[in-house]
Amino acid sequence: MSSILLAKFLGIFLTVLGLGTILNHQHLTSAVDEITKSKALGLVSGIVPLLLGSILVSTHHVLVSGLPMIITIIGYVFLISGIIRIMFPDIWVKLIRNNKEVLPLSLVGLLMTLLGFVLIYFGFLV
């Protein structure tokens, strides 16, 4: 897959996810609390990042500076996140519970939105 196509896809995905996180902060905080209490929900929450990361890493493992490297890093972040959630759920739950105050969801949402805007810029405008 081309870097431009993946930048478009990931840009839209991360922007919507980031804005949703910012706009629905309370709802998402409750959802994350429920996920950390339910083993089944925790397992299911690892499937999407594992799938997305596996696809990105296997189709776009490009270690060239610039946009291709950003997409490759995003792929590895998704892949590692999915692996941790599925293979080491207790560690994932502990990380989430211990870092709620250190890295609030609104900040995570802002970072996702900014990264999404950067990818949309490179995917659609450059």
**Tokens (6 digits) for 118:** 């950067």
Q: How many structural domains does the chain have?
A: 1
Quote the CA–CA distance of 39 and 36 in Å, as a whole number. Answer: 7
pTM, two decimal places = 0.90
Residue 16: give the domain boundaries: 3-125
Q: pLDDT tens digit string along 69-98? A: 999 999 999 999 999 999 999 999 988 888
Q: pLDDT tens digit string along 3-17? A: 999 999 999 999 999
Q: Is the pLDDT of residue 101 over 80?
A: no
Quote the CA–CA distance of 123 and 117 in Å, as a whole number. Answer: 10
Instruction: Tell me the CA distances in angstroms from 13 to 5, 114, 120, 126, one per residue in order.
Output: 12, 12, 10, 19
Q: What is the pLDDT of residue 7?
A: 97
